Amino acid sequence: MDIATVSIIVFVSLMLAGLAVGMWVRDLFFAGAGGTGSASIPRRLRRIPSVFDAVPAKDLSGRIDQGFERLVLESGAAMTSTTFFLALMLSAIVLGGVLGFIQDDPFVGVAGAIVGMVIPLGYVSLLRIRRMRSIREELPVVIDMLARTTRAGQSIDQAIELCATESSGLLAAEFRQCCRQLEMGRSFDGVMNSLSARVRIVEMQLLTTTLVVQRGSGGNLSETLERMSNVVRNRMMAHRQMMAATGAGRTSTMLVATIGPLAFLFLMLVHRPHLQLMFDEPLGRMLLFAALLLEIVGLAWVFKLLRDDD
Here the CATH number for the domain that contains residue 162 is 1.20.81
142 torsion bin: left (phi>0), alpha (psi -120 to 50), beta (else): alpha
- Report if residue 234 sits inside a domain: yes
**What pLDDT does residue 34 have?**
40
The residue type found at 88 is: L
Say if residue 259 is in the same domain as residue 278: yes
pTM of full prediction above 0.75: no
Question: How many Cβ atoms from other residues are within 10 Å of residue 100's Cβ?
Answer: 22
If you ran DSSP here, which 8-state letter would residue 51 be given?
Answer: G
Say if residue 239 is in the same domain as residue 274: no
Say if residue 141 is in the same domain as residue 238: yes
Backbone angles phi and psi of 49, in degrees to 5? -70, 150
- Report if residue 77 sits inside a domain: no
**End residue of a domain, out of 245, 263, 288:** 245
Say if residue 289 is in the same domain as residue 239: no
Say if residue 240 is in the same domain as residue 288: no
Range of the domain at 229: 135-245
Q: CA–CA distance from 82 to each of 10, 53, 145, 194 (Å)? A: 21, 18, 38, 22
**End residue of a domain, out of 245, 261, 288:** 245
Contact 297, 249 (CB under 8 A): no
Say if residue 214 is in the same domain as residue 156: yes
- Report if residue 287 sits inside a domain: yes
- Report if residue 293 sits inside a domain: yes
Say if residue 236 is in the same domain as residue 284: no
Q: Which of 72, 75, 73, 91 is nearest to 20 (CA)?
A: 91
**What pLDDT does residue 40 have?**
41
Say if residue 231 is in the same domain as residue 168: yes
Question: In the chain, how many domains are there?
Answer: 2
SS (H, E, C) 279-298: HHCHHHHHHHHHHHHHHHHH
Distance CA 161, CA 180 (A): 9
**End residue of a domain, out of 189, 222, 245:** 245
Enumerate helices (H) and strands (E) in the chain, giving the number of each.
12, 0
**What pLDDT does residue 13 have?**
64
Helix (H) or strand (E) holding 141: helix 106-151
Say if residue 238 is in the same domain as residue 142: yes
**What pLDDT does residue 27 have?**
56
- Report if residue 192 sits inside a domain: yes
- Report if residue 146 sits inside a domain: yes
- Report if residue 32 sits inside a domain: no
Say if residue 140 is in the same domain as residue 195: yes
**What pLDDT does residue 7 have?**
59
**What pLDDT does residue 253 have?**
75
Distance CA 2, CA 246 (A): 52
Distance CA 261, CA 114 (A): 13
DSSP letter string over 220-288?
-HHHHHHHHHHHHHHHHHHHHHHHHHTHHHHHHHHHHHHHHHHHHHHHHHH-THHHHHHHHSHHHHHHH
- Report if residue 34 sits inside a domain: no
Say if residue 234 is in the same domain as residue 169: yes
Distance CA 113, CA 94 (A): 8
Mapped onto helix, strand or coil, the DSSP state of residue 199 is coil
**What pLDDT does residue 293 have?**
82
**What pLDDT does residue 41 have?**
40
Distance CA 121, CA 115 (A): 10
pLDDT tens series, the chain, 310 aa? 556 565 566 656 666 666 666 766 665 565 543 444 443 444 444 455 666 766 777 777 778 878 888 888 888 877 777 888 888 888 888 887 777 777 676 777 777 778 788 888 888 888 888 888 888 888 898 999 988 988 888 888 888 888 888 888 888 888 888 898 888 888 888 889 888 888 888 888 888 888 888 887 877 888 888 888 888 888 888 888 887 887 777 787 778 777 877 887 777 777 777 777 777 778 877 887 788 788 778 777 776 766 654 4
Distance CA 145, CA 165 (A): 12
If you ran DSSP here, which 8-state letter would residue 39 be given?
Answer: T
Q: CA–CA distance from 54 to each of 63, 176, 209, 265 (Å)? A: 11, 21, 20, 40
Say if residue 148 is in the same domain as residue 228: yes
Distance CA 13, CA 63 (A): 28
